């Protein structure tokens, strides 16, 4: 795919993967609407971009279906089409499952699942009418392999992989591409947010995936554009994440035993850290 002149919407564009996607798209020549529930953050992203493409910003709460549809409709009314819909906004909670409140469960379901559904519901009919387009849903390695202490996140990201692959099987013959992006730990604010109890996200995510350093968000964004060009179903990056995915498919029972041991070790580390404070 040539991205020059393509019309794109990115949710969760105020930071992290979303902001990186906007940078990559503008650099490739696309015209991007950078959206985020934090409108000021979305504006900062858009204002920082310079390239052959263009960027504007808008405040968007993906849990509001009418607002998501209005954002899609605004692009279509202005340009006549929507070529790329990036359902990227997401949150995470980390910690033992019994510590999560029902409000936290509902919040992550609303953002990570319903937020993507709202994007698909708004963009997919438009793409069907025009006969082309690409939907990109940000999932995670947590959508391909399960681990404790991020139970709610794992649940939502598995849902996004399932949604994406099922939709792709319908959409492919109708000219629409669907991609699920499933990265390992990426250098974004989410690594240091959403802690419940003694959970330390950065330590958990990096140790759990055998990574010394988190993957670059800008590198993942470039990988994503390449995956769109190749019309891939899944993007699993970096290499450690891909190896883990293959291992999960070949030896799920062994992976489960390793996950149990990892959580036991993490609890010890978290307790020691709390005691030291």
Set 153, 204, 205, 215: catalytic member? 153
Interatomic CA distance for residues 78 and 100, integer angstroms: 43
DSSP 110: I
205: annotated active-site residue: no
Where along the chain do its domains lie?
7-276
Measured between alpha carbons, how far is residue 96 from residues 31, 150, 266 in Å?
42, 8, 11
Interatomic CA distance for residues 9 and 62, integer angstroms: 12
Interatomic CA distance for residues 136 and 116, integer angstroms: 10
Looking at residue 2, its pLDDT comes to: 94
Looking at residue 194, its pLDDT comes to: 87
Interatomic CA distance for residues 9 and 90, integer angstroms: 15
Looking at residue 210, its pLDDT comes to: 87
Interatomic CA distance for residues 244 and 226, integer angstroms: 22
Specify the pTM: 0.96
What are the residue ranges in the chain where pLDDT is below 70? Answer: none
Q: For domain 7-276, which architecture applies?
A: 3-Layer(aba) Sandwich (3.40)
Looking at residue 142, its pLDDT comes to: 96
């Amino acid at each position: 795919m040539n991205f020059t002149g393509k019309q794109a919407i990115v949710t969760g564009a105020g930071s992290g993967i979303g902001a990186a996607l906007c940078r990559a798209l503008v650099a490739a020549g696309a015209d991007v609407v950078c959206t985020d529930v934090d409108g000021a953050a979305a504006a900062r992203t858009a204002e920082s971009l310079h390239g052959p493409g263009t960027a504007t910003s808008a405040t968007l709460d993906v849990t509001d279906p009418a607002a998501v549809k209005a954002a899609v409709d605004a692009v279509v009314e202005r340009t006549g089409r929507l070529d790329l819909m990036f359902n990227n906004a997401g949150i995470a909670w980390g910690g033992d499952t019994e510590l999560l409140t029902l409000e936290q469960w509902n919040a992550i379901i609303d953002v990570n699942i319903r937020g993507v559904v709202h994007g698909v519901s708004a963009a997919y009919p438009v793409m069907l009418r025009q006969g082309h387009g690409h939907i990109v849903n940000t999932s995670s390695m947590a959508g391909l392999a399960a681990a404790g202490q991020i139970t709610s996140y794992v649940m939502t990201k598995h849902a996004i992989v399932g949604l994406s692959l099922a939709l792709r099987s319908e959409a492919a013959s109708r000219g629409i591409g669907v991609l699920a992006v499933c990265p390992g730990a990426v250098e974004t604010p989410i690594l240091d947010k959403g802690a419940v109890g003694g959970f330390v996200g950065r330590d958990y995510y990096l140790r759990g995936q055998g990574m010394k350093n988190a993957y670059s968000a800008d590198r993942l964004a470039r990988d994503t554009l390449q995956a769109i060009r190749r019309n891939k179903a899944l993007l699993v990056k970096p290499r450690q994440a891909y190896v883990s995915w293959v291992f999960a498919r070949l030896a799920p029972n062994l992976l489960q035993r390793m996950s149990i041991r990892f959580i036991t070790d993490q609890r010890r580390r978290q307790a020691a850290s709390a005691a030291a404070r």
